[in-house]
C-alpha cells in the first residue's frame, strides 16, 4: 500500500538515469536523484539543478524532527525560506520513483491558467521544474513507524503566487 501526499507513479522498465551521465555529488541512497530532477527539467527547457549539501542538512534535520516529534507525519517546515517536497511510503522505493511521483502531478497543472485542476495537487511538480531554482538537497529516513520519509529542499524556492514555473 502506498501512503503519500504525492500521487503514485508506476516506474517504467527503463530507467531515466543514463549510465553515462556523471552523477553529481550525491552519495548512498541519494545517488542519482539530481539527475532524475534534471531529466524532467530538461523536458521543459529549464536549467539543471546542482546538488547542495546545505539543502541536504536541512532535509535531514527536518525529517529527524518529524520522526522524533510526530511519528513521521508529513508536515512542511513553514519557517523555511526554501522550497520543499515530501514523500512517504510504507515500502522501500527508489529516488527515481520519488521524483517521478512528484513529476506525475504535471497532468493536473494547467499552464495557461497557471493553476492546478480543482481538487488536485501540482505544487510538487511545479517545484521540480521551477526555472529559477538552482540547487537541491535531499534526504531519506526510515522512521520509527517503519515508514520511509523522503524530503528535498530547493534553493531558491519556487511556487510563487502569480508566477509560472517556466
The answer as to whether 62 is a domain residue is yes
Q: Which residues pair with 153 in a beta bridge?
A: 84, 137
3-state class of 110 per DSSP?
A: strand
Give the integer Cα–Cα distance in Å for 132 and 54.
18
CA distances from 79 to 56, 62, 83, 153, 157 (A): 17, 11, 11, 13, 13
The answer as to whether 109 is a domain residue is yes
The answer as to whether 11 is a domain residue is no
Give the integer Cα–Cα distance in Å for 121 and 117.
8
Higher pLDDT, 135 or 30: 135
The answer as to whether 39 is a domain residue is yes
Q: What is the per-residue pLDDT across 101-118, written as a single tens digit (0 to 9) for each? A: 999 999 999 999 999 999
The answer as to whether 147 is a domain residue is yes
- The total of structural domains in the chain comes to 1
The answer as to whether 65 is a domain residue is yes
Domain of residue 151, CATH code: 3.40.33.10
The domain in which residue 151 lies consists of: 32-72+82-155
Most confident of 13-17, 68-72, 91-95, 101-105: 101-105
Q: What does pTM read for this prediction?
A: 0.84
The answer as to whether 140 is a domain residue is yes
Are 121 and 105 in contact by the 8 Å Cβ rule? The answer is: yes
Among candidate residues 83, 60, 86, 61, the one with its CA nearest the CA of residue 73: 86
Q: What is the per-residue pLDDT across 27-81, written as a single tens digit (0 to 9) for each? A: 677 889 999 999 999 999 999 999 999 999 999 999 999 999 988 999 999 999 9
The answer as to whether 50 is a domain residue is yes
Amino acid at each position: 500500500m502506498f501512503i503519500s501526499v504525492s500521487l503514485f507513479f508506476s516506474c517504467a522498465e527503463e530507467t531515466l538515469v543514463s549510465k553515462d551521465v556523471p552523477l553529481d555529488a550525491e552519495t548512498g541512497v541519494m545517488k542519482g536523484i539530481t539527475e532524475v530532477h534534471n531529466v524532467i527539467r530538461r523536458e521543459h527547457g529549464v536549467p539543471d539543478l546542482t546538488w547542495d549539501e546545505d539543502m541536504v542538512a536541512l532535509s535531514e534535520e527536518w525529517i529527524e524532527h518529524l520522526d522524533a516529534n510526530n511519528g513521521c507525519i508529513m508536515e512542511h517546515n513553514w519557517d523555511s525560506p526554501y522550497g520543499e517536497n515530501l514523500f512517504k511510503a510504507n515500502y522501500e522505493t527508489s529516488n527515481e520513483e520519488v521524483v517521478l511521483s512528484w513529476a506525475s502531478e504535471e497532468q493536473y497543472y494547467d499552464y495557461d491558467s497557471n493553476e492546478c485542476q480543482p481538487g488536485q495537487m501540482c505544487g510538487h511538480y511545479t517545484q521540480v521544474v521551477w526555472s529559477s531554482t538552482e540547487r537541491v538537497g535531499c534526504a531519506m529516513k526510515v522512521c520509527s513507524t517503519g515508514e520511509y520519509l523522503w524530503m528535498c529542499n530547493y534553493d531558491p524556492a519556487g511556487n510563487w503566487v502569480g508566477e509560472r514555473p517556466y
